Every structure is written in structure tokens, then in C-alpha cells.
Amino acid sequence: MEDFDDIERQIRTIIAEELQADEKEIRKDSTIAELGGDSLKALMLITSLENHFNITISDEDAMKIKSFSAAAAIVRKLKRA
């Protein structure tokens, strides 16, 4: 079992909810597509991340959110900013 830090655990919960995926299936290298997501599910995920972490994700960053690790990296970057 991989170690998830606090932010990653929150993101994992959000992804599980938006993609209707099992949290246990979500790895750091999981892609949105592998978890059953398409462009619309990704859009819902991005909106949830924005609201949960109180951040604004630009279109450029939003385009990059194709995996768990990409989502985590962008959330961290914006939380630091």
C-alpha cells in the first residue's frame, strides 16, 4: 500500500467520489481514464478540487489533470501560491 499524505488523501477521496471509483483502487500513477473517467468526469473533478481546496485552476493546468499525480502536483502548487 502506497503512502498518501494529507493532501493526497483528500484528493483520493474526491476522485473516488467524482469518478465513482473504489478508493483502494486509486494509486499515485492512476490515470483518470483508467479509473473510468472521460473529459466530462475530469471537468467535474477539477471543479470539485477548486471548491474543496479553495483554489482556481487555470485552463492550462486543468488540461494537465489526466492522472492522480498530476492533480496532486497542481493542487500543491496552487496551495503554496
| Grid cell for residue 48 | 470539485
Q: How far apart are CA 74 and CA 51, in angstroms?
A: 14
Interaction between residue 70 and other proteins (CB under 8 A): no
59 is catalytic: no
Interaction between residue 55 and other proteins (CB under 8 A): no
Q: How far apart are CA 23 and CA 11, in angstroms?
A: 10
Among the candidate windows 7-15, 24-32, 35-43, 69-77, which touches other proteins by CB under 8 A?
A: 35-43
Among the candidate windows 2-10, 11-19, 32-40, 73-81, which touches other proteins by CB under 8 A?
A: 32-40
Q: Name 52's Cβ contacts closer than 8 Å, sequence gap at least 6.
A: 10, 14
Of residues 2 and 59, the one with the C-beta less far from other proteins: 59
